[in-house]
Amino acid sequence: MASAAKLAITDLLPLPKSSIKIPRLGFGIYLSPSSTCVASCLHALKNGYRHIDSAQYYRNETEMGEAVRQSGLKRSDVFLTTKILAAAGSVEKSYQKCLNSVNQIDPGEQGYVDLFLIHSPSSGTEKRKEMWGALERLLEEGRVKSIGVSNYGVGHIEEMKSYAKIWPPHVNQIELHPWCQQRTITSYCAKEKIIVEAYSPLVRNQKAHDPTLKTISKRRGATTAQVLVRYCLQKGWVPLPKSDTPHRIEENANVYGFELDEADMNELDGLDQGEEGAIVEAVRNEITK
pLDDT in tens, 143-202: 999 999 999 999 999 999 999 999 999 999 999 999 999 999 999 999 999 999 999 999
Confidence of residue 267 (pLDDT cuts 50, 70, 90): very high
Rounded to an integer, the average pLDDT of 252-256 is 98
pLDDT in tens, 33-69: 998 999 999 999 999 999 999 999 999 999 999 999 9
Contact by Cβ (8 Å): 244, 44: no
- Using CA atoms, how far apart are residues 268 and 171, in angstroms rounded to an integer? 24
- Say whether 119 is catalytic: yes
- Residues 269, 270, 275, 276, CA torsion sign: negative
pTM: 0.97
Q: Which of 51, 119, 156, 177 is catalytic?
A: 119
Q: Which of 49, 58, 95, 152 is catalytic?
A: 58
Contacts of 274 (CB under 8 A, 6+ apart): 180, 282
pLDDT in tens, 81-97: 999 999 999 999 999 99
Buried b (16+ CB within 10 A) or exposed e, 165-200: ebbbbbbbbbbbbbbbbbeebbebbeeeebbbbbbb
- Say whether 43 is catalytic: no
